[in-house]
């Protein structure tokens, strides 16, 4: 049922109800109200189905790439922002709040990018901007080369503390 037909039906029902109300004394319209409520429920369900179909059409699962950021310990750098470049093109920028940094430090993972990409070879470069333990600005980078197949692809950008050098490092791990 298309939207215009549904609206016309509702208008007709309301018109009938209004006309009936004028000509009939104290008629019980509860059955009509029940039908209208059922139509509203059906319309909401149909609307949800249409939205899901649109999502599936626009973002087919087999074409998706998702990139996540995690923080191992965070003693040697406090991340402030992340920038992602896919095949030389900037696809995401994100500026972290102090609450989000705390969540990452407690083991949280942030999905910074999700999008469709074509099958084939790709290169992802992640830049992490932040401050080190002495308050100096730092910029770290990690590169992940990968081949996209017909399956979803996941990449984790992990900020880790390297105890031997007392420096932070960014690692990129491709998950299938």
pLDDT at 52 over 80: no
Q: Are 70 and 158 in contact (CB under 8 A)?
A: yes
pLDDT digits (tens, 9 = 90+) for 118-156: 889 999 999 999 998 888 999 999 999 999 888 889 999
Cβ atoms within 10 Å, residue 112 = 20
Q: Where are the domains of the chain?
A: 3-58, 62-175
Q: Is the dihedral of CA 73, 77, 81, 86 positive or negative?
A: negative
Measured at the alpha carbon of residue 141, what is the angle toward residues 135 and 144, in degrees to the nearest 5? 155
- Distance CA(48)–CA(55), nearest Å, equals 11
pLDDT of residue 85: 97
Q: How confident is the model at residue 80 (pLDDT cuts 50, 70, 90)?
A: very high
Q: Are 65 and 147 in contact (CB under 8 A)?
A: no
Q: Cα separations (Å) of 160 from 8, 21, 70, 155, 169?
A: 62, 73, 9, 15, 5
Task: State the fold for domain 62-175.
Answer: Immunoglobulin-like (2.60.40)
pLDDT of residue 150: 81
Place of tokens 């998702």: 66
Q: Cα separations (Å) of 153 from 21, 108, 135?
A: 61, 20, 35
Supply the mean pLDDT for the chain: 84
């Amino acid at each position: 049922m298309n939207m215009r037909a549904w609206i016309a039906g509702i208008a007709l029902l309301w018109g009938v109800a209004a006309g009936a109300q004028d000509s009939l004394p104290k008629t019980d319209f509860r059955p009509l109200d029940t039908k209208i409520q059922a139509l509203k429920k059906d319309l909401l369900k149909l609307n949800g189905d249409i939205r899901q179909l649109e999502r599936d059409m626009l973002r087919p699962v087999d074409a998706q790439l998702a990139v996540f950021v995690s923080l191992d310990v965070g003693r040697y750098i406090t991340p402030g922002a992340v920038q992602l470049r896919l095949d030389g093109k900037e696809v995401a920028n994100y500026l972290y709040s102090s609450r989000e940094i705390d969540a990452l430090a407690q083991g949280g993972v942030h999905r910074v990018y999700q999008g469709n990409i074509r099958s084939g070879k790709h290169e992802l470069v992640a830049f992490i901007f932040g401050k080190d333990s002495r308050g100096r600005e730092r910029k770290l980078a990690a590169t992940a080369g990968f081949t996209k197949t017909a399956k979803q692809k996941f990449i984790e950008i992990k900020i880790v503390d390297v105890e031997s050098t007392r420096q932070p490092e960014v690692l990129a791990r491709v998950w299938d």
